[in-house]
Amino acid sequence: MPRPFAVHRDDAPAYWSLGELLTVLATGEQTGGAFSLLEERLPRGAEPPPHVHHREDESFLVLAGELTVQAGDDLFRARAGSLVFCPRDVPHLLTVESEEVRMLTLCTPGGVERLFVELGEPATAPTLPPHDRAPDPERVVTLAAHYGAEVLTTWP
């Protein structure tokens, strides 16, 4: 059974993962599997490849910047204050339109946040990663599959 908790974003664990700063505000473990909540700072050019989640829905609340989200056949332009919902089993692709996007990502149910943690390293400062190290594509595909996600090589 989950226990009540509170966290300030400055005290939450942060990771440099796939070219972004990822702050884990709530894990699936903390919420009894109900959800995970991440704050992401994503620079233009560090977007994830087209992918689909088979276990969870993903919702993005844009806090700053501008993002285009293609979810299946739908295309959404999301600026600060916009929410975009991507249901499970619907392929989606994110494109950062501004220099950087800051957003909250809600995954329901929780658990997939472990994928980003495993692919990353603890952030030593609350900044974007200081280096541009490309992840090993094979490792990304393998870990994604382990967490019920699929990296797409072609757009449906």
CATH code, domain with 141: 2.60.120.10
Residue 80 in domain: yes
How is residue 106 written in tokens?
Answer: 């809600």
Residue 153 in domain: no
pLDDT, residue 131, reads: 74
Q: What's the domain count of the chain?
A: 1
DSSP 47: P
Residue among 89, 102, 95, 65 nearest 149 (CA): 89
> Do the beta carbons of residue 67 and residue 96 sit within 8 Å?
yes
pLDDT, residue 130, reads: 84
User: Can you give the residue range of the structural domain that contains 123?
Assistant: 14-146
pTM value surpassing 0.85: yes
Residue 70 in domain: yes
pLDDT, residue 17, reads: 93
> Do the beta carbons of residue 41 and residue 21 sit within 8 Å?
yes
CA distances for 41 relative to 18, 29, 127, 152, angstroms: 11, 23, 8, 23
Residue 87 in domain: yes
Residue 5 in domain: no
Q: Per residue in 10-43, pLDDT tens?
A: 999 999 999 999 999 999 999 999 999 999 999 9
Residue 156 in domain: no
Residue 43 in domain: yes
Averaged pLDDT in 10-residue chunks for the chain of 156 residues? 94 95 97 98 92 97 98 97 98 97 98 94 93 79 93 82
Residue 52 in domain: yes
CA angle in degrees (0–180, nearest 5) for 9-105-54: 140
